[in-house]
Amino acid sequence: MKATIDLDETLYRRLKMEAARRGTTIRELVAEGVRRVLAQPTVVREAVAEPAWFGSLRAYAKNAKGVHDMASIRESIVRGRRGARE
């Protein structure tokens, strides 16, 4: 199967020089790299526990109406506090 891959000029030159140094083709060198990447086990990141106060920030963000400058954030906090009292 054929695929087109866009590489920046510097990377392509390095790839071409490495293939020549090894006495192989660019195609074989790229295929070898892909095989190595696919042979590695997939790294699963552990979920990081969020501090309890993150939840309250999400509630305030909902009140921000899509604008996240400091003035809007302050207004959102005030609106959220008023709503909690009512």
User: Domain range holding 63?
Assistant: 53-85
Both tokens of 41, joined, read 């086990």
**Mean pLDDT of the 50-60 span:** 67
Start-end of H helices in 23-69: 26-39, 53-63
pLDDT at 56: 67
Residues 35 and 59 in one domain: no
Q: Distance between CA 47 and CA 66 in Å, rounded?
A: 27
pLDDT at 78: 80
Distances 72 to 11, 47, 53, 56 between C-alpha atoms, Å: 45, 30, 19, 16
Which range scores top for mean pLDDT: 39-43, 64-68, 80-84?
39-43
Q: Would you say residue 4 lies in a domain?
A: no
Write the pLDDT tens digit of every residue in 19-42.
999 999 999 999 999 999 999 888
For the chain, how many structural domains are there in total? Answer: 2
* Exposed/middle/buried for residue 3 (C-beta within 10 Å: 0-12, 13-18, 19+): exposed
